[in-house]
Amino acid sequence: MTFIRTTAAHTDFKMLVQLLDNDLARRDGDEHAFYHQFNTIDSLKHCVVLYQESNAVGCGAIKTYNPTTVEVKRIYIIDSQRGKGLATQVLTNLESWAKELGYTRCVLETGVRQPEAIALYEKNGYARIPNYGQYIGVENSVCFEKLL
Residue 11: predicted pLDDT: 96
The whole domain housing 7 covers 2-147
Rounded CA-CA distance 127/129 in Å is 6
Task: Give start and end residues of each alpha helix (H) in 29-134.
Answer: 32-36, 86-100, 115-123
Looking at the structure of the chain, the number of domains it has is 1
In CATH, what number is assigned to the domain containing residue 47?
3.40.630.30
The amino acid at residue 39 is: N
Region of residue 9 (phi > 0: left; psi between -120 and 50: alpha; otherwise: beta): alpha
Residue 43: predicted pLDDT: 79
| pLDDT string in tens for the chain (148-residue length) | 999 999 999 999 999 999 998 887 775 566 545 555 555 667 799 999 999 999 999 999 999 999 999 999 999 999 999 999 999 999 999 999 999 999 999 999 998 888 999 999 999 999 999 999 988 998 888 999 999 9
Residue 38: predicted pLDDT: 55
Residue 91: predicted pLDDT: 98
Note the pTM of the prediction, 2 decimals: 0.90
